[in-house]
Amino acid sequence: MSTTQQAETMGFQTEAKQLLHLMIHSLYSNKDIFLRELISNASDACDKLRFEGLQQPELLEGGDELVVKIEVDAEANTVTITDNGIGMSRDNIIAHLGTIARSGTAEFCNALSGDEKKDSQLIGQFGVGFYSGFLVADKLVVESRAAGEAADQAVRWSCDGEAEFTVENIEQAERGTKVILHLKEDASEYANDWRLRSLVKKYSDHIAVPVEMLKPTPPPAEDESEEDIVDVPEFERVNAATAMWTRPRNELSEEDYIEFYKHVSHDFQDPLTWSHNRVEGKFDYTSLIYIPSHAPFDLYNRDGAKGLKLYIQRTFIMDDAEQFLPMFLRFIKGVVDCSDLPLNVSREILQDSPAVDSIRSALTKRVLDQLAKMAKEQPDDYLKVWEAFGSV
């Protein structure tokens, strides 16, 4: 396939059209969430490249400094979010952006209540976070090149929120993905550098990938005119960019823990409680696990995604490592970061690993102890857990 291939216009699936319409016209309670969702996606793309690069170093293409960049153009009324992560091929982009939430679209539509605040909280859970861009934009453009692909294998996807989207091949020297939001007239507040900086600090301070924005241009000195200034774009990091679970508990606030929960769970409601522990011994690991305040839409779908995010020495391995908790605790969210599992880990190897068995036993006991403590000290919260998850 070459860049001579013509643009192709395709239609969304029926349920996706309904979902897009709802996203654009109905869910207004918290437009800020678009930035958290798009940064989270960009961070995931960087995590995936970091992991794939361990086995295929050529995918890094000589550049292993992974970063998310945000640029604002107030004149054009656009916001652009760029990552140099794993990227997408033409087939990837059609599969992932053309068939919104393949496993959950119908369930999402059925779960909508008509209450804007409640419905906006469903967006992340249902894997449709990318489309939260339509809360503030009337057009989304995605340009991407998959790691390891030639420059002429890059692709552009664009959609104005109607029933169709367009895909065409382009040339792109850098690997990774760029999301360009053409803001609505009533969302021009987001074409503001300081507004976006505050949202990054609020929602994405905890993610391990650096989020950068252009340094503000200082005013000219008294003895020079604006024409004398050579404008060389320079980016600076906006977020803390440290893996939050590796930080001491006494450095973390309640808000830090809550925002990290929303990042890993895509739940927009606060968790009931959490447990953050560093264990040293035969198997060293750190865990940060949360008890949600309500059931996700797919709780009873046994084939649905479940489990903890798995890291090995801070390197992302997989999203849904279900081997660390029993099936009846599949509603627990969080992160486990191990030091002693092999880096060429697979689901089969994990299942047979003594380290996993040991960690699973310890985490299960920790959750059950936490629930027992809650039943004794916070009976109202425990009742919420029982009502939401007692039948699993």
- Are 96 and 41 contacting, i.e. CB atoms less than 8 angstroms apart? no
Q: Are residues 147 and 43 in the same domain?
A: yes
Per-residue pLDDT for 24 more than 90?
no
What confidence score (pLDDT) does residue 16 get? 65
Q: How confident is the model at residue 14 (pLDDT cuts 50, 70, 90)?
A: low
Mean pLDDT of 294-318: 74
Q: What is the pLDDT of residues 105-122, one digit of tens each?
A: 455 566 666 665 555 555
CATH number reported for the structural domain that contains residue 87 in this entry: 3.30.565.10
Q: What is the pLDDT of residues 81-94, one digit of tens each?
A: 999 999 999 998 88
What confidence score (pLDDT) does residue 376 get? 95
Q: Are residues 16 and 142 in the same domain?
A: yes
- Residue 368 is part of which domain span? 244-389
Q: Are residues 208 and 256 in the same domain?
A: no
Per-residue pLDDT for 328 more than 80?
yes
Per-residue pLDDT for 28 more than 60?
no
Number of separate domains in the chain:
2
Q: Are residues 90 and 170 in the same domain?
A: yes
Last residue of a domain, one of 177, 207, 237: 237
Mean pLDDT of 60-80: 94
What confidence score (pLDDT) does residue 62 get? 83
CATH number reported for the structural domain that contains residue 308 in this entry: 3.30.230.80
Is position 1 within any domain?
Answer: no
Q: Are residues 72 and 39 in the same domain?
A: yes
Residue 313 dihedral angles phi and psi, to the nearest 5°: 50, 50
Q: Are residues 263 and 160 in the same domain?
A: no
Is position 3 within any domain?
Answer: no
Is position 382 within any domain?
Answer: yes
Is position 50 within any domain?
Answer: yes
Per-residue pLDDT for 1 more than 50?
no
Q: Are residues 228 and 296 in the same domain?
A: no
Per-residue pLDDT for 57 more than 50?
yes
Is position 227 within any domain?
Answer: yes
Q: What is the pLDDT of residues 333-387, one digit of tens each?
A: 999 998 867 544 444 456 667 888 899 999 999 999 999 999 999 999 999 999 8
Q: Are residues 185 and 312 in the same domain?
A: no
Last residue of a domain, one of 237, 263, 290: 237
pTM across the whole model:
0.74
d(CA 165, CA 171): 19
